[in-house]
Amino acid sequence: MSQAVVSVNAGILLPVLAPAVGAAVVLVTDVAVQHLRRVHYLIALASLVVGAVATFAGLGMVAGAARRTLCLPAGGQCMYVADSVTTTLQLAALLAAALTLLLSWPDDKKQSPGSTAVIMSLVLTATAGATAVAGAHDVGSWLVALELATLPTVALVALRGARSAISGAIALLTAALVSFALLALSAALWFTATGSGFLTPAAALVGFHDPVRRPILVLAVVVLIAGIGFKLSLVPFHAWTPEAYDGAPLPIAAFLAGVSKIAAAAALLVVIQAVAPLGEPPLAAMAIVAAVSMTLGNIMALRQDGVVRLLAWSTVAQAGWVVLPLAAVSSAAVHASGAYLLAYVLATLLAFAVVAALVQIRGAARARDLTEYRGLLSAHPVLASALGLALLSLAGLPPGVLGLVAKVAALRPVVTSELWVLAIVAAANAVLGVAVYLRWLLKVISSPEASEQASPPAVPDGAAPVAARAIRAHPATLVAVGLTAVALVLTSLSPQMLLGMLGR
Amino acid sequence: MILLLALVIPAVTGTALILSGRAFRPSAEGNANTLSLVASVATAGFVTAAVINRPVLDQPWLPSLGVRMHFAVDGISAPLLILTAALSIAVVLNARSRPPHGGSSSTFYGCLQLVELGALATFLARDAVIFYLSFEIVLIPMWVLISRYGDSHDLAARADASGRFVLYTVLGSTLMLIGILALVQASGTANLDALAAAHGTGLARHMQIIIAALLLVGMGIKIPVFPLHTWLPPAHTIAPTAGSVMLAAVLLKMGTYGVVRLVIAPLPIGFGALAPAFAVVGVVGIVWGGLACLVENDLKRLIAYSSVAHMGFVVLGLSSGTTAGLQAALFANIAHGVVSALLFFLVGGLKERWGSADLATARAALREVSPRLGLALVVGFAASLGLPGLVGFWGEFLAMYSAWNPAPDRPQTLMRVLVVVAVLGAGVAAAYSLRVLRLIWSGDRTTPAHEDARGGEWSVLAALVCAVLVLGVAPGLVLNSTSKGVAAITMEVSR
């Protein structure tokens, strides 16, 4: 059969195509009409929304069901397979990207007109890569899509042009290159071991049952986990994270913490599902990586005095929680990992959105300094409440019920597989995590005067409210804060809304 | 419906009070109190109705994880529910006379409402995961109460105390969560009634021991059991009166209640294997807490250590494995709730009057300057030392009695030795109680004078004194309620 045509269903591919087409449209528009800014944002937002709507059909499908396209005529192998978990992650990536756009909505003349189109197309391209890698089931497109999700972020970080941005971008670029090298190597090993270009259980089993090729397959999986470890900022491949987050503009840091993490986790889940039938051995590495990431991430986060760096280290720790359930081999583990990822992304984006709003209100220096958060509750009660909800969700304590449910979901496969040591390490890290986020929250809720005056009766309540500066946050930023906060409240009241999307 | 209202009222009021931080100006602080009082009374009404009618609420909540919104009342939880609802009214009433310091009062009352919500939900929960979730609800509000409204003389100590409280408790509850998940996974249901009815059939012995150990360590932090108790004294010392009361009288009970529901009932073999060790740490706690009380000079800290001792008796009763022992533990639970609430209300008030809670400073004798406070103090410490006829007596006496004749699978000699040591601990309790009375109640000094209890404070103290007397004379009020549930558990334990 020389027929090399694959079936194409554009409807199923729309979550990937929409942002990609959006990127192209933005660039074409920029060539046609120059000096536009808002239009680019609107085009980008529209394409993300179209992509998000297109995912609705694939949410909450029963286990085993999937939407497939790009199938080979013979044998029926498909290069694009989107089950419920995949589709939910795509939706999350698209919405997270839309949120990033809201945070960076243009309001003054600071940005040079030309760069808007560039930034928009980079954001859209990276998002397209993220949604593509989630569905990619052949080694080639998986690898290309993952790099498509990564490389634009290097430019996004660097575009600010500041010295710290350049060093952050270089850290990110180095990590991206090393991880690409590892991933390319593992792709080659995979092909050698399995003789198949597809990331499927069937292919993995072929390699596994051949005693000669089995070590190559295990090596492929281990190298691959290392490669993705860079993107997920798992210890010991995490070193670029604080540099890049701190150097990047805040919305881009949110993008790195949101969309990029979703892309990396989605890529990991594709591989995990493929190698799940092999059993525990290849995944033992996962347990160690998860335990070390959590511990180091939390300990380092505990020592940070900058808010963005704290969030950066917190993503290292949270990445450990995301891969924690994967140490156990079961389909529930993939669900649990997805659930934890969604809860983490939602809470982290809310935290970033609040910090972004505070950057606009108080200036970057104050908003990025942890000590400046003292008394935030009395100065900005709404923003402080939103931040509190986000932090408690990350800590996994009520009222952040979503975070708590995610913690339950993530621990369950570990307990089911009777990995007691890992479970105890996770419990210890739950405590460390609480310490990290409550350290920040304590500053937020403490009264502004408490540091100077020790005797509370001397200060009549509310006697000296610091005169609120007239500067207000940009409406788009506040919309972003509001939408994320509402989403977090609703999913905390009924976590099933989120978990149901991942499949029944 | 009744159950839902009993939970929704504190949830909505608490959230509204916290979010409305700015709506209640200092001039209108009374409004927050009134609103909170109305909410607490309404909640108490619905809780009482629920205790009488025994409704059941069972809704799917998280089908993906098999978690159900399952709430119900039974004889074991009923007294604890009443205690929680009554004390929630009491703390608000007391705060009418003694308003909180350190921040907006609406946040203070909001946190109290959320603590009540968490405690009620914990005692009502019939789903193991919901139990864990409810257990966690109380954490952050209590942390806010301690870290923001606590004693502000030493800010570093306050931050340390609140941080210690929250971190210890999170460690305990996460270990408990691992135990719960393992239990649910191994027995295939998260329904507490079904778990209790199964009595661990089909669970291998080593599995039962692992799960029981995780759960006991987790809840042992909350109870607290001897080596894990170090968070309690600072938390009590720093916390505002309302926080101390809720912490001692309600939150500690969640631990022992959890042991009954999640360890003794569903894991009889596992608990049987660990019971001797559990009893030993309980009795060590009795002696340790008592000895600490003999030398402690901070009155609040002293009562906190006495809590460790009293909870030791509860642990001893739980470990005995007999019906009488469980009954005793549940009764001692309630008794400690009433007595510690009384004492913390008293001491909180005294600390505000004195400016500190230091026993070494010479004070006016309570019996001379404030006879009402003096009376309440005498009753409180008399109950605390286990005087017959008062509420403290029955639980501790029955706990020692049942441990003297433990269930057949318990090591009898060890248990009897432990009882002897516990009796010595009870003697120490008498010594430290009388020491406190001698230091602050008796004497002739009348300076510096301070006002006696009046208004909300006095009505709360009087009500608790009455409760101490009534439950002391008629312990059957509680024992009859718990007996059926206890019989269902131990019948199978001793099988």
For B340-365, write each residue's pLDDT tens digit.
Answer: 999 999 988 888 888 888 888 878 88
* Low-confidence winner among A84-93, A137-146, A325-334 (lowest mean pLDDT): A325-334
Cβ contacts (< 8 Å) between A412 and chain B: which residues? 65, 181, 185
Contact assignment for A430 to B185 by CB distance below 8 Å:
no
Q: Which amino acid is residue A171, in one-letter code? A: A
A130 closest CA partner among A262, A19, A271: A262
- Nearest-by-Cβ selection for B133 from A398, A438, A504: A398
Would an 8 Å CB–CB cutoff place A366 in contact with chain B? no
- Report whether B321 contacts B407 (CB < 8 A): yes
Q: Is B492 a residue whose pLDDT tops 80?
A: no
| A243 has pLDDT over 50 | yes
In this complex, the residue of B104, B133, B178 whose CB is nearest that of residue A461 is: B104
Q: What is the pLDDT averaged over residues B324-334?
A: 90
**A387 CB contacts (<8 Å, ≥6 apart)?**
A350, A351, A354, A355, A376, A441, A444
Rg (CA), chain A: 23
Interface membership of A490 toward B (CB under 8 Å): no
Position A4 confidence tier, pLDDT thresholds 50, 70, 90: low
Judge whether B453 and B349 are in contact, CB under 8 Å: yes
Tell me what pLDDT residue A225 has. Answer: 87
In sequence order, which ranges of B267-322 are alpha helices (DSSP H)?
Answer: 268-295, 299-319
User: How far apart are the C-alpha atoms of B244 and B298, rounded to whole Å?
Assistant: 14
Measured CA angle at B275 (ends B269, B276), to 5 deg = 130
Question: Alpha-carbon dihedral of residues B304, B310, B312, B317, nearest 10 degrees?
Answer: -160
Structurally, how many domains does chain A consist of?
Answer: 1
Question: C-alpha distances in angstroms, B451 versus B231, B342, B361?
Answer: 33, 18, 18
Q: Does the structure show a pLDDT above 90 at A454?
A: no
Residues 408-467 on B with a CB inside 8 Å of A are: none
- Interface contact A462-B136, CB threshold 8 A: no
Query: In this predicted model, which residue has the larger pLDDT, B106 or B245?
Result: B245
**Among residues of chain A, what percentage have pLDDT more than 90?**
48
pLDDT single digits (tens) A44-57: 999 999 999 999 88
Phi, psi of B407 (to 5 degrees): -60, 155
Contact B126, B193 (CB under 8 A): yes
Given a contact cutoff of 8 angstroms between Cβ atoms, the answer to whether B245 and B336 are in contact is: no
pLDDT per position as a tens digit, B8-63: 999 998 888 888 766 555 556 678 888 889 999 999 999 999 988 888 889 888 88
Q: Is residue A149 part of a domain?
A: no
Q: Quick check: is A133 in a domain?
A: no
Choose between B362 and B269: higher pLDDT: B269
**3-class DSSP assignment, residue B454:** coil
Residue A218 lies in a domain: no
With 0-12 / 13-18 / 19 or more C-beta atoms within 10 angstroms meaning exposed / middle / buried, residue B26 is exposed
Strands B67-72 and B56-62 turn out to be antiparallel
| Cis, peptide link before residue A282, omega less than 30° from 0 | no
Instruction: Report the C-alpha gap between A331 and A333 in whole angstroms.
Output: 5
CA distance B24 to B104: 8
With an 8 Å Cβ cutoff, is B16 touching chain A?
Answer: no
Instruction: Name the residue among B25, B140, B182 with its Cβ closest to that of A398.
Output: B140
Residue with more model confidence, A467 or A58: A58
- Cβ of A29: how many Cβ atoms within 10 Å? 16
φ, ψ for residue B298, nearest 5 deg = -95, 120
Nearest CB to A499 within list B21, B64, B137: B64
Contact list, B18 vs chain A (CB under 8 Å): 385
Residue A442 counted as domain residue: yes
The distance of B55 to chain A (nearest Cα, Å) reads 23
Query: Domain of A286?
Result: 279-449+470-504
A421 → chain B, closest CA residue = B178
Confidence of residue A282 (pLDDT cuts 50, 70, 90): low
Q: Is the pLDDT of residue A263 over 90?
A: yes
Token readout for A451 is 């540091």
Alpha helices in B320-390 (DSSP H): 323-354, 366-369, 371-384
| A314-343: average pLDDT | 90
Residues 6+ apart with CB under 8 A from B83: B249, B250, B253, B334, B337, B338
What local confidence, expressed as pLDDT, does residue B315 receive?
93
pLDDT confidence bin for B94, thresholds 50/70/90: confident
Does residue A131 lie in a domain region? no
pTM of the model: 0.92
Distance (Å, rounded) from C-alpha B358 to C-alpha B5?
A: 43
- Determine the Cα–Cα distance for residues A445 and A462; give it in Å rounded to an integer: 14
3-state secondary structure at position B226:
helix
Among chain B residues, the shortest Cα distance to A499 is held by B64
Provide mean pLDDT across the span B383-404: 88
Q: What Cα–Cα distance (Å) separates residue B10 from each residue in A52, A393, B118, B398? A: 38, 21, 9, 36
Whether A434 and B167 lie within 8 Å, measured CB to CB: yes
Q: Is the pLDDT of residue A475 over 90?
A: no
Q: What are phi and psi of B62, to 5 degrees?
A: -135, 75
Q: Nearest CA to CA, how far is B141 from chain A (Å)? A: 9
DSSP state of B125: B
Report pLDDT digits (tens) over A149-174: 999 999 999 887 778 888 889 999 99
Instruction: Give the pLDDT confidence of A61-72 residue by residue, as tens digits.
Output: 887 788 888 888
In a domain, A147, yes or no: no
Q: Where does the pLDDT of residue B213 fall: very low under 50, low under 70, confident under 90, or very high at 90 and above? A: very high
Query: Which residue among A398, A424, A457 sits closest to B101, beta carbon to beta carbon?
Result: A457
Residue A467 pLDDT greater than 50, yes or no? no
* A299 to chain B, closest Cα gap in Å: 14
The two three-digit tokens of residue A286, written as one number: 């996962």
Residue B194 has pLDDT above 60, yes or no: yes
Alpha-carbon span A241 to A315, nearest angstrom: 9
Q: What confidence category does residue A470 fall into, taking pLDDT thresholds of 50, 70 and 90?
A: low
Say if A32 falls within a structural domain.
no
Instruction: Please determine, for residue B373, whether its predicted confidence score (pLDDT) is greater than 70.
Output: yes
Residue B21's pLDDT is 64
Shortest distance, CA B173 to any CA of chain A (angstroms) = 9
Q: Which residue has the higher pLDDT, A299 or B151?
A: A299
More confident residue, A459 or B170: B170
A495 contacts B62? CB cut-off 8 A? yes
Asked if the Cβ–Cβ distance from B178 to A502 is below 8 Å, we say: no
pLDDT band at A504 (very low <50, low <70, confident <90, very high): low
pLDDT of residue A114: 52
Of B139, B148, B163, the CB nearest to A446: B148
Report the alpha-carbon distance of residue A362 to residue B167 in Å, rounded: 32
* pLDDT (0 to 100) of residue A111: 56
Percentage of chain B exceeding pLDDT 90: 44
Question: pLDDT band at residue A107, thresholds of 50, 70 and 90?
Answer: low
Mutate to test the interface with A, among B64, B111, B203, B207 (most CBs of A within 10 A): B64
In a domain, A227, yes or no: no
CB contact under 8 A, A423 and B21: no
**Which B residues in the span 128-187 are in contact with A, Cβ-Cβ below 8 Å?**
129, 132-133, 136-137, 139-140, 143-144, 147-148, 152-153, 155, 159, 162-163, 166-167, 170-171, 174-175, 177-178, 181-182, 185
The answer to whether B157 and B123 are in contact (CB under 8 A) is no
Shortest distance between the Cα of B169 and any Cα of chain A, in A, equals 9
pLDDT for res A425: 93
Mean pLDDT of B173-181: 94
